[in-house]
Amino acid sequence: MGTVGPRVESLASSGITCIPKEYVRPQEELDNIGNVFEEEKKEGPQVPTIDLGEIDSPSEVVRGKCREKLKKAAAEWGVMNLVNHGIPEELLNRLRKAGETFFSLPIEEKEKYANDQASGKIQGYGSKLANNASGQLEWEDYFFHLVYPEDKRDLSIWPTKPSDYTEATSEYARQLRSLATKILEALSIGLGLEGGRLEKEVGGMEELLLQLKINYYPICPQPELALGVEAHTDISSLTFLLHNMVPGLQLFYKGKWVTAKCVPNSIFMHIGDTVEILSNGRYKSILHRGLVNKEKVRISWAVFCEPPKEKIILQPLPELVTEKEPARFPPRTFAQHIHHKLFRKDEEALPN
Ligand SMILES: [Fe+2]
């Protein structure tokens, strides 16, 4: 405890007016980091909103129309706001309340749950460690743990305050797992495959891992110099995201950073690299990043649906590979894919 460097929250509350240099982004990124509240108001292309109300309709025609919209959004954007997703608003509010209450505890309380990345204990309370030569850091603290399948959870590291945390988070995970199945089914049919195909390819009920990361972005005295999360694509199959209605997420769409507008009661969803690879690039995993601001704390709840690290070789499904559309991705396990991305990033971060 206390040996892992300052939490961003403690920096933010220390009264500093200039952020430490590790948090200042390199010049090429600074050119276009704006005030996120102004950015959110801008007109222009926007993340599609998909109404899932009809995805279980008794009519195949109606279901088909719903799937088409989802497919189009997955192919054009790789992200979307899901509405009428079937998860009760009351449960979403309980989940948010539980996470907010945990993060409102004093830092010393939260440190009792600190992870230890050096020893491989990645679940728990943490902040990013510098993983490249520049020592670059992000303006956020987080809480990370596996939430599904239930027999793979380590409940001993889950917050005990507030008392509703475990129940609210578990129920959300269960409902999200069903939603993931529905989405994967629609995406499979959209590729001309049998409905259960993608679900099976990412590990099915036993092996697909749902990992929750609560991202806590404190107020930042110099938001025009920092990022909450640097630009990346998600490695998951799907990522589901909730937030506290404070803007911050930006998508790199057609060569420009687009700030996602906050849509009430929606669940934001990403297509991750895993589905991009399996679909041979027909569905997109979009580059995105997180801005911070000097007015409001932003909190988001990301659930990454990840295939097992070693058991499955990820590669474009053979049905989607043709002479005209050769495989765009080499076969890799999920672990190899992660390694490949980290390695590339390290190289890019080195001078020259
Ligand atoms: Fe992400």
Question: What burial class does residue 254 get, using C-beta atoms within 10 Å of its C-beta: 0-12 exposed, 13-18 middle, 19+ buried?
Answer: exposed
Note the pLDDT of residue 351.
42
Band of the pLDDT at 349, cuts 50, 70, 90? very low
Q: Are 247 and 261 in contact (CB under 8 A)?
A: yes
Band of the pLDDT at 348, cuts 50, 70, 90? very low
Q: Is there a cis peptide before residue 308, judged by omega within 30 degrees of 0?
A: no
Question: Treating both helix axes as pointing N-terminal to C-terminal, what angle do 165-190 and 60-76 enclose, rounded to 10 degrees?
Answer: 100
Q: What is the pLDDT of residues 62-101, one digit of tens each?
A: 999 999 999 999 999 999 999 999 999 999 999 999 999 9
Band of the pLDDT at 352, cuts 50, 70, 90? very low
Q: What is the pLDDT of residues 109-151, one digit of tens each?
A: 999 999 998 898 999 999 988 766 678 899 999 999 999 999 9
Note the pLDDT of residue 128.
86
Q: Which amino acid is at 308?
A: P
Q: Are 210 and 314 in contact (CB under 8 A)?
A: no
In the reported structure, the alpha carbon of residue 241 is separated from the centroid of ligand 1 by a whole-number distance in angstroms of 9
Domain annotation for the chain: domains and CATH numbers? 25-349 (2.60.120.330)
The two structure tokens encoding residue 309: 């690290």
In the reported structure, the alpha carbon of residue 325 is separated from the centroid of ligand 1 by a whole-number distance in angstroms of 28
In the reported structure, the alpha carbon of residue 285 is separated from the centroid of ligand 1 by a whole-number distance in angstroms of 10
Q: What is the pLDDT of residues 248-269, one digit of tens each?
A: 999 999 999 999 999 999 999 9
The two structure tokens encoding residue 320: 């989607």
The two structure tokens encoding residue 54: 């009809």
In the reported structure, the alpha carbon of residue 153 is separated from the centroid of ligand 1 by a whole-number distance in angstroms of 22
Q: Are 249 and 260 in contact (CB under 8 A)?
A: yes
Tell me the catalytic residues: 213, 232, 234, 288
In the reported structure, the alpha carbon of residue 290 is separated from the centroid of ligand 1 by a whole-number distance in angstroms of 9
In the reported structure, the alpha carbon of residue 213 is separated from the centroid of ligand 1 by a whole-number distance in angstroms of 10
Residue of 351, 352, 336, 345 whose CA lies nearest to 131: 345
Q: What is the pLDDT of residues 10-63, one digit of tens each?
A: 999 999 999 999 999 999 999 889 899 999 999 999 999 999 999 999 999 999
Note the pLDDT of residue 345.
59
Q: Are 188 and 197 in contact (CB under 8 A)?
A: yes
Mean pLDDT (whole number) for 178-195: 98
φ, ψ (nearest 5 deg) of residue 302: -105, 130
The two structure tokens encoding residue 279: 């679909």
Note the pLDDT of residue 32.
83
Q: What is the pLDDT of residues 203-247, one digit of tens each?
A: 999 999 999 999 999 999 999 999 999 999 999 999 999 999 999
